[in-house]
Amino acid sequence: MGDATNSVASVFRPSPALSKVGPSAITRMTAATAELKRQGRQIASMHLGEPDFGTPGNIVEAAIRAMRAGDTHYTALDGTPEVKSAVQEKFSRENGIYFENDQIVVTSGAKMVLFSAFFATLNLGDEVILPAPYWVSYGDIVEMMGARAVVLPTDAQDGFKLRAEDLERAITPNTRWLLINSPSNPSGAIYRRSEYEPILDVIERHPHVWLMVDDMYEHIIFQDEPFVTPAQLRPDLQGRILTINGVSKAYAMTGWRIGYAGGPAPLMKAIKAVLSQSTSCPCSIAQAASAEALRGPQDSVRRYLGEYRVRRDLVITELSHCPDLKATEPDGTFYAFVDWRALFGKLTPRGETLSDDEDLCQYLLHDCGVSIVPGSAFGTPGFFRISFASSEAELRLGIARIREGCAALI
């Protein structure tokens, strides 16, 4: 049996599309954390971007009603009429954007919108501009398509936001997309109207460049200024803008796997072709629940936001007691992005040198019992990401361990 297994393994050839892609840093940290917990270690988990709240009851009840009504079959591949109508109403009510039915798709998670849009539009050698820090999956998905991720570093002093002049310099004849995530995972940065406008002016001057906007954290914002999205600001550019969102973060529905998007009809038609040969359709039950999430009472969203604000303030305050760490207060999301560069080159109590983000995260995990994500996974070495989508007790424990771990460095 062993020989046969080795023989099969020896002839396996992975696709060239996977040559530069592997499990994400978050996935690896999740697996490592789970293994340590299985061994009986108490780990303060601050790596996972998942709300610790339960899905609101009205949403769960909508799913139950759908099942009892027999809504357990295939749906249209881009979403049921009910959920697409709810998405249409959401865009109109909250963003002032109107999309026709054929300009909306509903998918099995917002990542599937990203994947399908890139699959449908990218050719070998095309370029996608990613302001860093960026969500870990963006670059890998682009590379899987045989395209090139063009990473544009941003600065903490600029609020981790792309500058129009840097965008202008980065655009080439091969540029196909600019991808902006606001509020940003991992930095928590939010683009205001005055910050979007110069960027949109650049996009307008380059008709071959399209804009993909990931608004997943739209409802987790701490600033008083209203949230804005590019298609709302520049209707004249809507023919080149894909606006992506979902129910995972705002409604604590990560496991329901529903994302949605609005954009130009020709692009959506191409996305639907990808969906027809991949996921076929999103889960019918999850679509019914998502329609209720978008149309129903929003009290839970406001309550969650209040909790996140308390946790954000706790995390930033506690981190301020770590003299070698510098945390930028996030305007949105439930993440803090922390600068640890003052600790580069220091030694752990076991004599190991901290030469990069991975070294720091492995030290804090195995020696101190706290899990975080290295900034290099987000295209920004010298930082790490903390998720404060956990209880206050977990956050206090985790930051105390980070503080102790940093103080123990030589």
Give 38-63 pLDDT, tens digit per residue. Answer: 999 999 999 999 999 999 999 999 99
For residue 11, how many other CB atoms are within 10 A of its CB? 6
The reply to whether CATH 3.90.1150.10 applies to domain 21-54+300-407 is yes
With H, G, I as helix, E, B as strand and everything else as coil, classify residue 245: strand
Domains 21-54+300-407 and 58-295 share a fold: no
Torsion of CA 68, 72, 78, 81, to 10 degrees: -30
Question: What is the spatial order of strands in the sheet that 383-387 belongs to?
Answer: 326-328, 335-339, 383-387, 373-374
Phi, psi dihedral angles at 403 (to 5 degrees): -60, -45
Is 0.75 topped by the overall pTM?
Answer: yes
Question: What is the spatial order of strands in the sheet that 259-262 belongs to?
Answer: 104-107, 259-262, 241-246, 210-214, 175-181, 127-132, 148-153
Options 3.40.640.10, 3.30.565.10, 3.40.710.10, 3.30.310.80; CATH for 58-295 is 3.40.640.10
27-47 residues labelled b (16+ CB within 10 A) or e (exposed):
ebbbebbeebeeeeeebbbbb
DSSP 310-371: HHHHHHHHHHTT-TT-EEEPPSBSSEEEEE-GGGTT-B-TTS-B--SHHHHHHHHHHTT-EE
Query: Do the strands 335-339 and 326-328 form a parallel or antiparallel pair, or are they unpaired?
Result: antiparallel
Spell out the domain ranges in the chain.
21-54+300-407, 58-295
Per-state percent for the chain, helix, strand, coil, to nearest 5: 45, 15, 40
Cα distances (Å, whole numbers) of residue 224 to 214, 284, 322: 21, 37, 29
Q: In tens digits, what is the pLDDT along the chain, a chain of 410 residues?
A: 455 555 555 788 888 888 777 777 888 888 888 898 899 999 999 999 999 999 999 999 999 999 999 999 999 999 999 999 999 999 999 999 999 999 999 999 999 999 999 999 999 999 999 999 999 999 999 999 999 999 999 999 999 999 999 999 999 999 999 999 999 999 999 999 999 999 999 999 999 999 999 999 999 999 999 999 999 999 999 999 999 999 999 999 999 999 999 999 999 999 999 999 999 999 999 999 999 999 999 999 999 999 999 999 999 999 999 999 999 899 999 999 999 999 999 999 999 999 999 999 999 999 999 999 999 999 999 999 999 999 999 999 999 999 999 999 99
